[in-house]
Structure formats: C-alpha cells, structure tokens
Amino acid sequence: MIPSKKIEIFCGTGGVGKTTLATSRALKLAQTGKKVLLITIDPAKRLKQILGLENANEGEVIQLSNDVFGPHSDNIFALLMSPKATLKRMASLSGAGESLDNPIINILTRPYGGMNEIMAIIEVQYQISTNNFDSIVLDTPPGKHFIDFLESTQKIYQFFDKSFVDIFKYLGKKFTNENEKEKTGLLSLLVQTGVKKLLKYLEKVTGESFVEEFIDAISGLYRNRKAFTDALAFQEHLKKPEESNWFLVTSVDQQKVSEASGLQLDAQKFMHKDSYLVVNKSLMPYLNAWQPNESSTSLVKLRNSMKERENAIKGMATEGYKEVLFFPEILGTEPKSHVNELAQSWS
Amino acid sequence: MKVDTTNYLSLPFILSNKKPRLIIITGKGGVGKTTLAMAITKAYESVGKKVLYNCFDQPLNNSLSRNLNLPHFLLKMEDSAKEYIANKLGSETIAGWILKTPFFSSLFNMLPGLGHMILLGHIINKLEEDPELTIVLDSPSSGHALTMFESPQNFKEMFRSGLIVEDIKRMEDFIFKADQMKVVITALPTEMALQEAQDLELALKQRRVHDITHVVNDLLKICPSLEGSTSDELPDFLNKKISMEEELLKNLDSSWRLIPHYTHDKPSSIIKECSLLLTKEMHDS
C-alpha cells in the first residue's frame, strides 16, 4: 500500500468522486491501525449522513462508530469545515475574541460568505498542530476553488503586509497586545494622508457606518493575525514529500479533460514531485472485454469513443507523477459498501 | 431501445412562456456546464436571437470558442471594479488609485463574493443597456454559485446605506423580478450527483431564486449510438449502467429534462449536436 503521510490531500475538478475516494483512503488507513482525521468541505448530503455528520455541529470533530464501515471505523474522526466554528475557536485562543464579534466578520463567515478557503486553511493548520492524529485526509474544494484554497495562504500574507499596518496607525486603533512604537516619520505621514483621502472617497460610495465597522473588522482580524500567519506553515507541509501525499483525482465520466489538465498545471506549483494521479470510475476492464458485433457500427463507435475518452485522461499522466492509480467504476452499490470496495482497491 | 423524446431539454422549454434575459448554467464541476452553456448560446443564435456567452470569473476556453464561432464577451474583475468605482466617484484616476493600493487588491482577493457581485452588476448593466440582448452565464460550480447569489444580500447588510446599496437594490430588482433570470442546474446520472443538484436547488430557492430548470446530462439510456440496439446486444456493464439510470429517473418527476450521452471525440462536435437537439422541435415545426 502507498505509505501514509501526515497530510493526505485529495484534489481535482468537481464530481469525480473525490470525497468518496478520500473517505475510502481514510478507511484504508484506519484499517491498518492509524488514527485518521477526515476533513471535508461541502460534502454531498448522503455522505454527510453516512459519516454521521448530518446532525453534528459544523466544525466539531466526530468519531465514527464501527457500524459505519465495519471494524476499525472508529479510528476515523470526521470534521465538516465551518468558517464560523473556526473563527470562534480562533477568537478563544487569541484572547482577543470580542474583537471578532463584528457585523462584517459575522456576515463574511456565513457558509457562503466568501471566507471559506482562508478559514479552511486555518482549521487544517490548527488540526495539524494538535498532533492528535497520525494522518489528516483532506478533501479540498473542487476545481479552480482548490487553487483558491492553496493561494489563500498567499492572500493571507498580502493582507497583513506593511501598508495595512500603516492604515491602523493612522486610524489610531489601539492594539493592546502590541508593543509597537508609533512611527512619526515623514513617509508614514504621507501614507496616512493618503489613507485619509481614500477613506473619504470610499465613504461616499459605501455609507458612513460601513467605514467604521470595516475598520473594526480589519483591526479584529489584525489582532488575530497570528492564527492567519501560522496557517502559512500549511503550505510548507504540502511541499515536503515526507510529510504529504498528493492525490490528484480525475474521473472517466468527466466532461472536460482539458480543464482537469489545466488544473494540474496550476496545482503543480504547490505540489512536490512524489504525487499520484488517480483515475476514478474506470470502465477499461469492461470495455476491453466487450466485443460488439462488427456489423453494428454504432456500438463499435460507442465503445471506441468510450475507450478514447479514458485514454485521453491517461494521456494527462505523462509527466510529473510517481504513479497513476486506477479505481474501477463500481456499479450499483450503496455508498457504504462503495467506500468499502474502494478502500480495498488501495492495497 | 425505445426512447421518449418528450422530456429532452429544448430551447422552447427553457423559454416556455417566459423570456429570461439572463440564463445561468450551474451545477457541480464536470457535469457539462460549459458544453450546455455554449450549446444554449449557439441554439439561441441559430433562431436569430441576440445572445452572448460569458464565463464569469473562469478563463474562456479559447480554442473551443473560436471553433464554434461563439458570440461572447469577457469581463475582468479588476476592470469591472475600476469602472464601477470610477463611475461612482466621477474620476477614473482616483478609481485606479484606490484599486492599486495593496490594501484593496488584497481585499478583493480575500473576498471572492465582492468580485462576483461586481461582475454580476456589470452583466446586469449590459442587459439593461440593450433590451434585445440575452446573456448565457457559464457560472462557477455550486458552492461559488451560492456565494454569487448570496453576495448582494450580504453586502447590502454590510454597507446598509450609500451608493453601493442603491446599486445592489437595482441588481436585486433585476435578479428577482419575475421572468428575467433563469437558472439551469445540471447533474450527471448518479445518485449522489442528483442529490447534490436537489440540495443546490433548495439552497437557491431559499435565496429567492425561483425560475429553475433541472437537467440530467450524459444519459446512456438515450444515447443516439444505442438507438435500435436491444439489450442482449449490449455488454452487461452497459445494461447495468442503463438500468441504474432508469432506476434514478424513476424517482425524478417529469419536470427533469434529459440530455443524451454523445459519442464524439471533439467537444465542439458535442456542443453542435447538443445545440441541434435544443432547437429540434423548432426546425421540425
């Protein structure tokens, strides 16, 4: 079996069975005695039901019972990502919790409020730092959003850059956990004047209350910036082959091979070279066994086009991968036994 | 295999009694949104309508678009934001200056919803300027589509007053005014995919989006290459797949529209075929 690592990351375009495969990997690791945390972002309702996450509070780590996938299922812990829960824990850890109780932050951390990716990175890094698990299996958001997910560490960095600090200094917000001295040089004065002008312009467009609340929101985030900058370490884990396994998942019924390969190119700058391409829902064994009557040209055409589709995906794997893993299409089983069957394919 | 074609997706069905000006194609990744969005655009064009395809915040598939001679326009988030702010402040210089500060550029990066809202606003402006125009929007996949629909409400609550709120209200008027916007949710024929499509539909309805058409794509059961073949000519795995599809379709009500699996190797051929399917009734009559 592919040796387990601290982080096992599953990515790929949507609808390829990423979550189910990630779950099957978690099950396989659990069956070999590892304690595994399975983190999912926005899974299908059925899988939520199966994992027992449906009635769980979002952001809570749930231990599976052995009823779920049979023996050793209780080595699996599952977590459904919730920006709000992450924010809450962040606040309680930083001791500056009240600073995050702000109308703007509350809206942005709603499930579709727009801070999902960044909060997810913070959550994952936190779970890594607790050292509670042998492996963390991470199911990432689909497609381009996965790139957003990875890039969010970069965004965090940009957000807390120097120009930002100057804005606060101008605004005179007090950072009680800061001991930074006021800068009174000409340069920062110039920056300050610029900021003042900028906010005046902005106020016309946005209304007055917004600017005030926005400044509070930003200063709240700034006071909790340790959680954000700590999360930058996540990217480092992902670059080290000894710490992470990358599984780039694609599936034969994908409608857009070109997009999947484009995604690969984008992802490669975040990945290390020891990565796996996973081709899911492969029909090849069935197609190879099928010999349609030569006279029925439309059936021959169908078989050939299905084979071609699969070969096109295989063709993506020409470079940059340690190994290509095929998982057969599993026809007509319940999701539970589906996960079990896939788990067996990992050996 | 006998096929009932009355449930096929068609342009007249999409337009039935209404004339949506903004048609948004959404669904999970990999379900064929781009294929369908481009096919709808071509079908519209073929019946003499003024239509443009837009891929929102995703990059355009250039070769495909060229191949199909697809009527389209592109938006760049930064440019849209600049245009918007410049319009409000009456100065392009100041707008450029605001957006160039690292602070604001990272703000747009941090909050995709803000960018989505500005793009959507830009699209609605375009529609308001030209009453003859219809736009087919190849939207981001489900999660981000929800961000897109939720953003106006979220940002309205955030800003509360000021010029932006007036614009958001105008946007909402357009989006939620009956008959102007249609959402097409696309799914593949698997149990989980259909469940997710239904979840998405519910989530959209909760966000006051009501004109929704749901579609099952890539159905082998109605694949043109299988027409005339009997089940004993087909291998077990295909019969099994088809019977699974039938099982799934049984649980869907008749409002679901169907699109066949096409056996072409080129995406542009599939889009052309799909566009023909959409206008079939119109050519027949």
Query: Is the distance from CB of B216 to CB of B194 less than 8 angstroms?
Result: yes
Quote the pLDDT of residue A76. Answer: 96
**Sign of torsion over alpha carbons B86, B91, B97, B103:** negative
Q: Is B72 helix (H, G, I), strand (E, B) or coil?
A: strand
Q: How far apart are CA B102 and CA A25, in angstroms?
A: 41
Is some CB atom of chain A closer than 8 A to the CB atom of B156? no
Query: Which amino acid, B186?
Result: T
> Is B30 in Cβ contact with A256 (below 8 Å)?
yes
- Residue B262, domain extent: 5-77+119-284
Quote the pLDDT of residue A309. Answer: 79
Q: Is A77 exposed, middle or buried (0-12, 13-18, 19+ CB in 10 A)?
A: buried
Closest CA of chain B from A109, distance in Å: 10
pLDDT at A180 over 60: no
Inside any domain, residue B173? yes
Quote the pLDDT of residue B277. Answer: 92
Minimal Cβ distance to A13: which of B30, B199, B234: B30
Query: Is the distance from CB of A6 to CB of A130 less than 8 angstroms?
Result: no
pLDDT at B13 over 70: yes
Quote the pLDDT of residue B145. Answer: 74
Query: Is the distance from CB of B226 to CB of B1 less than 8 angstroms?
Result: yes
Collect all residues of chain A within an 8 Å Cβ-Cβ radius of residue B151.
114
Quote the pLDDT of residue B2. Answer: 44
Q: Which residue of B has its CA nearest to A167?
A: B103
What string of DSSP letters covers A103-130?
HHHHHHTSTTSS-HHHHHHHHHHHHHHH
Inside any domain, residue B89? no
Closest CA of chain A from B32, distance in Å: 5
Quote the pLDDT of residue A238. Answer: 84
pLDDT at B284 over 50: yes
Res. A186 pLDDT band, cuts 50 70 90: very low
Q: How far apart are CA A207 and CA A227, in angstroms?
A: 31
> Is A289 in Cβ contact with B146 (below 8 Å)?
no
Quote the pLDDT of residue A184. Answer: 43
Taking only the tens place, the pLDDT of each residue in B31-40 is 888 899 999 9
Q: Could you give phi then psi for residue B130, rounded to 5 degrees? A: -130, 95
> Is A110 in Cβ contact with B164 (below 8 Å)?
no
Q: Specify the range with the lowest mean pLDDT, choosing from A226-230, A309-313, A317-321, B77-81.
A: A317-321
Q: Higher confidence at residue A161 or residue A294?
A: A294
Quote the pLDDT of residue A178. Answer: 43
> Which domains, ranges and CATH numbers included, belong to chain A?
7-157+231-345 (3.40.50.300), 161-229 (no CATH)
pLDDT at A297 over 70: yes
Q: How far apart are CA A142 and CA A18, in angstroms?
A: 9
Inside any domain, residue B243? yes
> Is A113 in Cβ contact with B147 (below 8 Å)?
yes
pLDDT at A189 over 60: no
Inside any domain, residue B95? no
Quote the pLDDT of residue A170. Answer: 52
Collect all residues of chain A within an 8 Å Cβ-Cβ radius of residue B26.
none
CA distances from B278 to A42, A66, B71, B267, B283 (A): 33, 49, 17, 17, 10
Inside any domain, residue B51? yes
Collect all residues of chain B within an 8 Å Cβ-Cβ radius of residue A142.
28-30, 141, 143
Inside any domain, residue B88? no
Quote the pLDDT of residue A174. Answer: 41
- Range B42-70 average pLDDT: 92
Q: Higher confidence at residue B160 or residue B107?
A: B160
* Percent of chain A with pLDDT strictly greater than 70: 73
Q: How far apart are CA A59 and CA A7, in angstroms?
A: 19
Which of A70, A108, A342 lies closest to A218 in space, CA to CA?
Answer: A108
Quote the pLDDT of residue A200. Answer: 65
pLDDT at A167 over 60: no
Quote the pLDDT of residue A245. Answer: 93
pLDDT at B230 over 80: yes
Res. A330 pLDDT band, cuts 50 70 90: confident
Per-chain mean pLDDT for chain B? 85
Q: Higher confidence at residue B165 or residue A258?
A: B165
pTM, two decimal places: 0.81
Minimal Cβ distance to B30: which of A16, A47, A293: A16
**Sign of torsion over alpha carbons A63, A67, A69, A72:** positive
pLDDT at B53 over 90: yes
CB atoms within 10 A of CB A154: 13
Quote the pLDDT of residue B50. Answer: 96
Q: Higher confidence at residue B168 or residue A42?
A: B168
CA distances from B69 to A51, A257, B12, B66, B268 (A): 47, 21, 23, 5, 10
Q: How far apart are CA A100 and CA A220, in angstroms?
A: 5
Q: How far apart are CA A160 and CA A3, in angstroms?
A: 37
Pairs across A and B, CB distance < 8 A? 198
pLDDT at A255 over 80: no
Minimal Cβ distance to B154: which of A113, A253, A335: A113
Taking only the tens place, the pLDDT of each residue in A41-77 is 766 666 777 787 777 777 789 999 999 999 999 999 9
Minimal Cβ distance to B143: which of A110, A118, A141: A141
Inside any domain, residue B105? no
Is some CB atom of chain A closer than 8 A to the CB atom of B218? yes
CATH of the domain at B170: 3.40.50.300
Q: Specify the range with the lowest mean pLDDT, choosing from B88-92, B97-101, B131-135.
A: B97-101
- Range A202-221 average pLDDT: 73
* ipTM computed for the complex: 0.74
Q: How far apart are CA A312 and CA A44, in angstroms?
A: 28
Res. B134 pLDDT band, cuts 50 70 90: very high
Largest CA-CA distance found in chain B, in angstroms, rounded: 72
Query: Is the distance from CB of A214 to CB of A108 less than 8 angstroms?
Result: no
Minimal Cβ distance to A205: which of B88, B140, B150: B88
pLDDT at B3 over 60: no
What total of structural domains would you count in chain B?
Answer: 1
